[in-house]
Structure 1
Amino acid sequence: MRPAPEPFTELDARRLGPVRRYFARHPVVMDWVIVAIFVVPGVLYSLFAEQPHGSSPWSLVFFLLGGALLYWRRRRPVTVALGLTALGVLAIAVTGDTAGFEVAAMFAVYAVAASRPSRIAWPVLAIVVLALSAATLLWYDVITTADGEVLRQSVEPGRATVDRIVGILVTTVLCLIALAIGTNVRARRQHVSDLVERANSIARDRDQQAQLAAAAERTRIAREMHDVVAHSLTVMVALADGAKASGAKNPELAGHALDELTATGRAALADMRRVLGVLREPGGEQTVPLAPAHETPELEEIVERFRTAGLPVRLVRSGPQPTPGPALRQTAHRIVQESLTNVLRYAPLSPMVLVEVSRRAEPGADWLELRVVNQAGRRPGEGASADERGLPPSVAEQHPPGVPVGTGRGIIGMRERAAVYGGTVSAGPSGTGWEVRASLRLDLDPGRETGGRDDGRERS
C-alpha cells in the first residue's frame, strides 16, 4: 500500500532564508529577542543614566513588567497591547518619560495586525495611540542637559511643546508602520495558507480518486469472476451430467460432451488467469504474462455452448444489426451469458429458450435491445409449468416463497454493466417462465462502427 503523503505546510510554500526559516520554526526564540530589544536598553538606562527625582527604580520596574507582557504578544496580542498601553501611561505619569514604551507599543500593534482582522487591529491602534498621546501631552517633562548636568524643566500639563508633539508623532508613526507591516504579513500568511490548503486538498482528492479507482477495479474483478465461475461451472456440471447419462447408450455423444467439458474448463482457467493477472503488485515480480485483450466470443458461440449443455436455445436477430465496439459487445454478450446461465441452473428442463437481438432508434438515442426468455420446464407428472416467480415446480420446492433464489449478484452485475452505457436491465417472471430484457445505448459507445447489416436471420 502506498504511504500517505506528508501534508504540505506553510514553511514548504514560503521562500525563506536560513535565519528567517530558523525563527519561523522556533518562534519562542523570536519572542525572547523582542523582549531583549525592549528590556536590555531600558534596564541599562535605568541603572546608569542620571534621572530626576530618583525615578530610576520605577523605570526599572516598568521595563521589566513591559518585557514580561511582550513575551506573550503572540498568544494574547490584544490583551498584551492594551496592557502595555496602560503600563506606558502609568510610566509616563510616574517618571515623566515614555521609557521606550512607544517601541513596545509598536511590537504589540504589529502582533495584533498580524494575527487579527482589521476590524480588531484598527480599534486597538486607536486606543494605543490616543492613550499614549494623551499621557505624553499631560505628563511628559522636557529633559535637557547643560554643562554635564541633568536639568528638569517642568511644563504646564496639557501644554503643547515641540518635544511632546515629536513624542506623539513618533508613537503614531511607529504604530502605523507596525499596523501596515502586520496587515501585509497577515494577508500574505492567509494567501500562503490558502495555497497550502488547496495543495493538500488536491492531494486528498488524488488519493480518494485512487481509492475509488481501486474499489471500482475490485468490483469489476468480482463481477468478472462471478461471470466466469458461474457460467463455466454451470455449463461444466451440465455437460458432466449429460456425459454420465449418455455414457452407456451413446458413447460418441458422451465423448463429445467430455470434449466440450474440457474446452469449457480450459477457457474458464484462461479467463481466471486474465482477470487475476491485474492483481500484480505495482513494481513487483510479474506472475502473469502480458497478453492481448481477451477476445469476446460471438453470440453464436455462446448459444452453441449452451445448446451443447442441453438447452434448446434459439438466437433471433431482427432489424438492422449494429456493429458495436469491443467493450459494448462484451457487455451485451455477458448479459446474454448470465441470463442463459441462470436458465441452465434453475430451469434446465425448459422446452424453449429464446435470445432476441434487435435495434431500436428514437430521436436522440440509438438502442441495442436484448431479450432472453424461457419457458419453465417440468418433469413428467408435474403440474403447472411455473409459479408466480417463474420457477418450475422442481425448483420452487427447494425455494419456498420468501426464500431468495440465488444471491442476486448476477442481476446486479448485469445492471451495472448496462448502466455504463446508459442502459437498463429488467428481470422477472413472464407468466410461463422467466424473462430478461436489456437496453444499451449504442450512441454512447465510442468504439462502434456506423451502419449495420439487416439480415433478419434466425438461428436455432
Structure 2
Amino acid sequence: MRPGAPGVPGAGKAPKPSTRPRSGSIAVFTELDARKLGPVRRYFVRHPVVMDWFVAAWFTVPGLLTTLLPPEHARYGVAAATLAGGAVLLWRRRNPLLTAAVIGVLAVLTIALSGDSAGFELAVAFAIYAVATTYRPAVAWSVLGALVLTVCAAEMIWYDFAVSESGAIVRAEVGSGEVTGARVAAVAITLTFALLGIAIGSSVRGRRQHVADLVGRANAIARDRDQQAQLAAAAERARISREMHDVVAHSLTVMVALADGAKALGAKDPELAGQALDELTETGRAALADMRRVLGVLRDPDGSVAPLSPTADVPTMEDIAERFRHAGLPVRLVRVGVQPDPDPGLRQAAHRIVQESLTNVLRYAPLTPMVVVEIARRDAGAPDGGDWLEITVTNKAGRAPGGTARDGADARPLPAGIAGDQPIGTGRGIIGMRERAAVYGGTVTAGPTGSGWEVVARLRLDRTGSDQASRPDGGTGVAL
C-alpha cells in the first residue's frame, strides 16, 4: 500500500459461531445466549460465509481501485494478484496457516512486479488475525514474525514509489536495499497492521474461550439438573412400584384366602362364611382405595411424575393383625417398651414391612402354628446410639417354604384356599422392605431360625424430622 493510502487494520473480525451443540451432547445454551449482540453482529455470527465475503471484498475492492491510479506499471499483474488474494481470504477460516503463507507469497510478488504493496498490508492483517483466533499465541507470533519479515524485506528491496513535489505518485530511482522515507513508511504500515491484527485476534480468541467455558458450564449444570430430575423420577417410580407390589401381593393373597374359606364354610357354617365375605369385601375396598391413590399420582397434568406422599390413614398394627387372623393366620402382636409416634412416612414403611412379612408367611408357610409380630423401641442410650424402631416378625415351625410340614411341628390344617405346594417367591418383597428401611437409615434381615423364619427390620426414628417422643407427650397423634 502506498503511504497515505486509505485502509483500516484489524477489521477482519469474523468470530467463529458456536451455535451448534457439541457432538454427543444436548446444548441447552450457545454462544449467542451468552453474548449480547446487536442485529448486525448476530446476523454475521449466524452467517459466517457472508462475513468471509465481506472481508474479501474489503481487501479486493480498494486493491483493484489502486490499479487504476498512475503509474500503470504491471497493472494487470497487480489486479490478478489482488483477485487471488481475495479468493484466498475466503478460506481463512478453514486453513489459516495456508492462507497466511499464500498471502505472503502474493504480497512479495506484487511488490516485486509493481514496486508497490497494493494494499496487501490489509491482507496480511486479515491473515494474521485468522491465525491468532485459531491457534495459541506462540504459533500466532511465529507466523507474524515470518510474514512481516518476508513482506518488509520485499518492501526494502523493491518498493520504489514516492510522492513528488507536485503531489503526484511516481516511481523513484532507488537501489535495492537503499533506505528511503517511503520504504520506512511502508514497513511501518505493514508492521502496524500486523500488530493490530494479532492484538485483535488474540483478544477475540480469549473472549471466545471464556464464552465457551461459560457455555460449557451452563450446559453441564443444565444436564446435571436434567439427570437429577430423571433420577428423582426413577426413584419415585420405584416407590410406586413397591406400593403396587404391596397392594397386589398383600390384598390379593388375603382376598383369595377369604374367598376360598367362605366357599368351604358356606354349607357348614353360613354365619362364619358371611363374616369371611364381609372381610373379603372390606379388603377389596381397601385395596381399590390404595390402587386409586397410587395410580392417581403417577402423572401430573403437565406429564411429569408426581411424588407419592404417605397418607395419614394407614391402618394400625392391630388392624393388620386382625385382617390376617380372618385369613386364617394365627398372628400375635406384642409391643415392648414405650411405643414411638413416628411421622406418616415412617409409620407407613413400618406397616408395609409387617404386611409383606405376614403375606409371605400366609403364602409360603401356612401351617405355622403361630406368627409373632414384636414392635420394640431402642432409646438413645443403646450401645450403637440413636433412636430405633425394631420390628420382628417370626413364624414358628410350620411348612417350610416350598416344602412340607416340619417334623414335630404343631401342624394344623391348611387354611381354606391355601395350597400346600406354593412356589418360592422372587425375593422382590424382601428387596422392597430393605429399600423402605434404607430411606430411614435402617436395615432388614430375613432368614431361617431354629423355630421357623424371622424378619427383623430396624428403622431410625431420629432421622424422620418429627418429634419421636412417646405418647402422650408428643408425636402426631396417630398410633403406630
Q: Same fold (TM over 0.5)?
A: yes
Question: 2:143 aligned with 1:90, yes or no?
Answer: no
Aligned counterpart in structure 2 of residue 333 of structure 1, from 327, 336, 351: 351
Question: How far 1:378 moved relative to its partner?
Answer: 5.0
Partner of 1:389: none
Partner of 1:293: 311
Aligned counterpart in structure 1 of residue 185 of structure 2, from 166, 187, 193: 166
Aligned counterpart in structure 2 of residue 17 of structure 1, from 24, 29, 38: 38
Partner of 1:49: 69
Question: For residue 228 of structure 1, what is the amino acid of its counterpart?
Answer: V
Question: How far 1:332 moved relative to its partner?
Answer: 0.9
Question: How far 1:22 moved relative to its partner?
Answer: 1.6
- How does 1:199-210 map onto structure 2 within 5 Å? 199-210=218-229
Task: From the two aligned structures, give the one with the greater helix fraction.
Answer: 1
Indicate how the Cα distance of structure 1 residues 302 and 20 shifts in structure 2: closer, same or farther if over 3 A, else same: same
C-alpha distance in structure 2 between counterparts of 1:135 and 1:221, whole Å: 80
Question: For residue 252 of structure 1, what is the amino acid of its counterpart?
Answer: E
Question: How far 1:431 moved relative to its partner?
Answer: 3.4
Aligned counterpart in structure 1 of residue 394 of structure 2, from 369, 373, 382: 373
Please say if residues 422 and 440 of structure 1, whose CA atoms lie closer than 8 Å, have aligned partners that are also in contact: yes
Q: Deviations over 1:50-93 (max 9, x none)?
A: 226x3212211221221111111111112111221122122222
Q: Give the secondary structure class of the aligned counterpart of 2:339.
A: strand
- How does 1:53-452 map onto structure 2 within 5 Å? 54-145=73-164, 151-283=170-302, 293-360=311-378, 361-377=382-398, 384=407, 399=423, 405-451=424-470
Question: For residue 36 of structure 2, what is the amino acid of its counterpart?
Answer: R
C-alpha distance in structure 2 between counterparts of 1:396 and 1:172, whole Å: 99
Q: Give the secondary structure class of the aligned counterpart of 2:179.
A: coil
C-alpha distance in structure 2 between counterparts of 1:364 and 1:157, whole Å: 96
Question: How far 1:111 moved relative to its partner?
Answer: 1.3
Question: For residue 375 of structure 1, what is the amino acid of its counterpart?
Answer: K
Q: Give the secondary structure class of the aligned counterpart of 1:450.
A: coil
Question: For residue 368 of structure 2, what is the amino acid of its counterpart?
Answer: S
Q: Deviations over 1:299-347 (max 9, x none)?
A: 1111111122211111112233222211111111110110001111111
Q: Give the secondary structure class of the aligned counterpart of 1:8.
A: coil
Q: Deviations over 1:218-247 (max 9, x none)?
A: 211111011011111111122223323333
Gaps (5+ residues) in structure 1? 285-289, 387-393, 400-404, 455-460
Please say if residues 326 and 447 of structure 1, whose CA atoms lie closer than 8 Å, have aligned partners that are also in contact: no
C-alpha distance in structure 1 between counterparts of 2:130 and 2:385, whole Å: 64
- Worse-superposed segment, 354-363 or 80-89: 354-363
- Worse-superposed segment, 348-357 or 239-248: 239-248
C-alpha distance in structure 2 between counterparts of 1:215 and 1:208, whole Å: 10
C-alpha distance in structure 1 between counterparts of 2:406 and 2:348, whole Å: 39
C-alpha distance in structure 2 between counterparts of 1:175 and 1:191, whole Å: 24
Please say if residues 372 and 435 of structure 1, whose CA atoms lie closer than 8 Å, have aligned partners that are also in contact: yes
Please say if residues 8 and 196 of structure 1, whose CA atoms lie closer than 8 Å, have aligned partners that are also in contact: yes
C-alpha distance in structure 2 between counterparts of 1:325 and 1:148, whole Å: 98
Question: How far 1:383 moved relative to its partner?
Answer: 5.7
Question: How far 1:451 moved relative to its partner?
Answer: 4.2
Q: Give the secondary structure class of the aligned counterpart of 2:469.
A: strand
The alignment-based identity, stated in percent, is 62
Indicate how the Cα distance of structure 1 residues 269 and 385 shifts in structure 2: closer, same or farther if over 3 A, else same: farther
Q: Give the secondary structure class of the aligned counterpart of 1:34.
A: helix
C-alpha distance in structure 1 between counterparts of 2:302 and 2:53, whole Å: 52
RMSD (Å) for aligned C-alpha atoms: 2.8
Question: How far 1:350 moved relative to its partner?
Answer: 0.9
Gaps (5+ residues) in structure 2? 1-24, 410-417, 474-480
Question: How far 1:173 moved relative to its partner?
Answer: 1.4
C-alpha distance in structure 2 between counterparts of 1:42 and 1:51, whole Å: 14
Indicate how the Cα distance of structure 1 residues 155 and 190 shifts in structure 2: closer, same or farther if over 3 A, else same: same
- Worse-superposed segment, 194-203 or 342-351: 194-203
Question: For residue 328 of structure 1, what is the amino acid of its counterpart?
Answer: L
- Worse-superposed segment, 445-454 or 11-20: 445-454
Question: For residue 94 of structure 1, what is the amino acid of its counterpart?
Answer: L
C-alpha distance in structure 1 between counterparts of 2:275 and 2:166, whole Å: 130
Q: Give the secondary structure class of the aligned counterpart of 1:51.
A: coil
C-alpha distance in structure 2 between counterparts of 1:169 and 1:27, whole Å: 31
